[in-house]
Chain A
Amino acid sequence: MSTRTVRVPGFSARYSSRPAVVTGLLALLLLALTGYALTVGKLPVSLGEALGMLAGDPGPSGVDYVFWTVRLPRVVTALLVGAALGVSGAILQSLSRNPLGSPDVLGFAGGAATGALLQILLIGGGALAVALSALTGAFVTAAVVYLVAYRRGVPGQRLVLVGIGIGALLLSLNRYLLISAEVDDAFRAAVWLTGSLLDRSWDHVTIATIAVTVLVPASVLLLRRLTLLELGDELSTGLGVPVGRTRLQLFVVAVGLAGAATAAAGPVAFVALAAPHLARRLLRPGGPSVVGSGLVGAVLLLGSDVAAQQVFPTGELPVGVATGVLGGVYLATLLGRRWSRRSVLSG
């Protein structure tokens, strides 16, 4: 890994070429994947038509309806949700100093699921109501976890353990709701719980867009401090990082992203956990890789969705199933390969 230094008067920066190059390649891959995803589905659309419609041309009748109300919301939701989960997972893994830390582990996904299940099984609201209930559930859970874990600061370890405890409570509640419901309702709830990109509307896109455009830049701004926090509380305080406040800010950002992602697509399995690890293995950065993780998350989710549609053309298979299988197998493959000692230490 070669590290280079740029110096111009008044500015100097060190960068290593591998993260930059790999990030560029990931972005290209994501672009290609997006183009491909826009063209496949029950109704094939040529790439030219798709680009034309994006540019404002009226497409062939029928095609443009499918494109604007089904295809595009689905693809955009996948991109945004994947990126949000990737960034959220990267922050939470670093914050909790635990390679298994992710929104699912910390109980937010459980809270979102409880909110959604109550809405689906007891109140019976529509898709948007379910999304908003999930969002509320995630935030309430996060607030409870943070307050319970708070005692002269919130060390990462305690945050994770409290999150697990409360998450386990919520999981029990969710399971109770699932087995006491009618089988049809339970099936609908189970599809939601797996995470699905079917029938996404522009409402879902809006929720995800707001979260990503506000919170991803915020996380990039906080990245330096996050990297310093990994050195330990004493050392990072010595380096001028207000530890408690920074941790709270990062926590809010991560929860906001995870909550919005869950509201938009359900608790999609494994992306938030796998994306940071995959990004580390691919990019080999010095610290946590927020942008890389976001890109990997988006590639993973969109790729899984495309793959699920190819294997089961009826499109009935929830994307969460595919992310689990693909992400799991890919991470296992990466783990199975020999890798350098250096990346192990940072992982």
Chain B
Amino acid sequence: MRVGSGGPDVEEAEGARARARPAHLATGLLAAVALLLCCAVLSLLTGSEPVAIGEVLRVLFADDRSEPAIIVHDLRMPRTAVGICVGIALGLAGALMQSLTRNPIADPGVLGINAGAAFGVLVAIVGLGIGDFTGYVWFAFLGATLSTTLVYLIGGRGNDSGTPVRLALAGTAIGAALVSAAEAMVFLDPKAFDEYRFWIVGDIAKPELAVVGQLLPFLLVGVLVALSLGPRLNAIALGDELGTALGVGLPRTRLLVGFSVLVLAGLATAVAGPIGFVGLAAPHLARAVTGPDQRWVLPYAGVLGAVMVLLADVAGRVVLPSGELRVSILTAIVGAPFFVVLVRRRRAAA
């Protein structure tokens, strides 16, 4: 059993090679950004309280504190902004993880981010009796940091330190241990269960803007580090030996990837709770367009991740107009059909 000898990228490379011209890719990226903007506008326009399009456009730039203005400025704009940030973060983190572990089914959860965050939140609820969002955020992020550090410490030991399989396995093992510990707390404290079952279904409907504002600079650093890693990841995709021969330090690359995945996915999970599937599917969608070049996969994955989150969030407001469906429930329902079609269309790989 091997983690696909050349990783997911190699298989998709053939089909995409003909298309992969930088000029086309740049145009495509612009198109994706345009799509994201359309989704953002859509997100401003939809909601349980109907506001006419003209009204939305009018109050968008003139916040006169009328009822439509309050709806747009205080409810829809924050959740759209958070949706974009969370989507970019998850898409990028997923692309980094799949590239680092050379495993097409890896996502940020493989580093134990979700498990660690869940653990942190439950320590906050059960251990310290904290019951509001602002309190959760930092515990979630602390938990994610704890688990990622553990994964790197354990996956990085031994004479084959930090190989993709080891990191993935260490992450899965520690993730399982932390999630189970969290569940143990839940089962011993039914009141905490009621809070936890809502936290675990991630949501961006009511973000705390003050907290999000504090997190934004860190998120920006994470995005920049992630985007700068493209060339290094390209070299590593050739294999550990060849990558090293090309002058890319493996341990350093792994640390940088781990750092940016933690910052990106950790913060996204802290703000919104676990939102699955985006980190897994966005890189696949991206690679279907770009081919294996990580310098392009990364930005595409970020933008497409944001598109996925926004579309899912909008869909959640449309499907059940009275009570909304949470975004993390709909990411899979919106994304999975595309994903499955994509996987089926790919040539039967080795």
List A residues at the B interface (Cβ < 8 Å): 93-94, 97-100, 105, 148-149, 151-153, 155, 157-158, 160-162, 164-166, 168-169, 171-172, 175-176, 178-179, 183, 186-187, 190-191, 194, 230, 232-233, 269-270, 273-274, 277, 288, 312, 316-318, 320-325, 327-329, 331-332, 335-339, 341, 344, 346-347
Contacts and interface: CB of A to CB of B under 8 A. Distances in A.
Contacts of A273: 172, 176
Interface string B226-267: 000000000000000000000000000000000000000000
Given A148-B340, A273-B172, A338-B159, A169 B333 contact: yes
A205 to B, nearest CB: 24
Contacts of B159: 338, 341
B154 interface: yes
13 contacts: A98-B3, A100-B103, A161-B343, A171-B276, A190-B193, A230-B1, A232-B350, A269-B179, A321-B180, A323-B180, A324-B181, A332-B150, A337-B158
A322 B177 CA distance: 9
B32 interface: no
A37 to B, nearest CB: 20
Contacts of B22: none
Interface in B307-350: 325-326, 328-333, 335-336, 339-340, 343-344, 346, 348-350
B4 interface: yes
Contacts of A194: 183, 187
A179 B326 contact: yes
Given A160-B105, A172-B276, A332-B170, 17 more contacts: A97-B4, A100-B110, A153-B348, A158-B349, A161-B284, A168-B336, A183-B190, A194-B187, A269-B180, A277-B169, A288-B1, A320-B180, A324-B177, A325-B177, A332-B174, A344-B163, A347-B165
Given A165-B339, A338-B157, A344-B160, A98 B105 contact: yes
Contacts of A165: 281, 336, 339-340, 343
Contacts of A183: 190, 193-194
B244 to A, nearest CB: 17
A325 B180 contact: yes
Given A168-B280, A328-B175, A94 B1 contact: yes
B198 interface: yes
Contacts of B179: 269, 324
Nearest to A341: B160
Nearest to A180: B323
Contact of A157 (B4, B166, B180): B4
Given A161-B104, A332-B177, A99 B332 contact: no
Across the A-B interface, the 7 shortest Cβ-Cβ residue pairs: A324-B180, A328-B177, A168-B332, A331-B173, A328-B176, A161-B343, A172-B332
Nearest to A102: B172
Given A168-B336, A172-B332, A324-B177, A336 B157 contact: yes
Contacts of B276: 168, 171-172
A105 to B, nearest CB: 7
A186 B186 CA distance: 12
A158 to B, nearest CB: 6
Nearest to A161: B343
A176 B329 contact: yes
Contacts of B335: 168
Contact of A162 (B3, B343, B349): B343
A275 to B, nearest CB: 12
Nearest to B196: A190
B8 to A, nearest CB: 8
Contact of A158 (B110, B160, B344): B344
A270 B181 CA distance: 13
B193 A162 contact: no
B340 A175 contact: no
B1 A99 contact: yes
Given A158-B344, A338-B157, A164 B280 contact: yes
A269 B193 CA distance: 18
Given A166-B340, A168-B280, A335 B197 contact: no
A81 B59 CA distance: 61
B128 interface: no
A331 B179 CA distance: 15
Nearest to B330: A172
Contacts of A191: 187
Contact of A100 (B168, B190, B329): B168
Contacts of B330: 172
B190 A187 contact: yes
B336 A175 contact: no
A321 B197 contact: no
Contact of A332 (B154, B329, B350): B154
A152 B348 CA distance: 8
B187 A162 contact: no
A152 B345 CA distance: 12
A335 B348 contact: no
Nearest to A157: B349
Nearest to A322: B180
Contacts of B158: 335-339
Contact of B104 (A157, A320, A337, A341): A157
Nearest to B159: A338
A346 B165 CA distance: 11
B210 interface: no
B169 A99 contact: yes
B68 interface: no
Nearest to A339: B158
B188 interface: yes
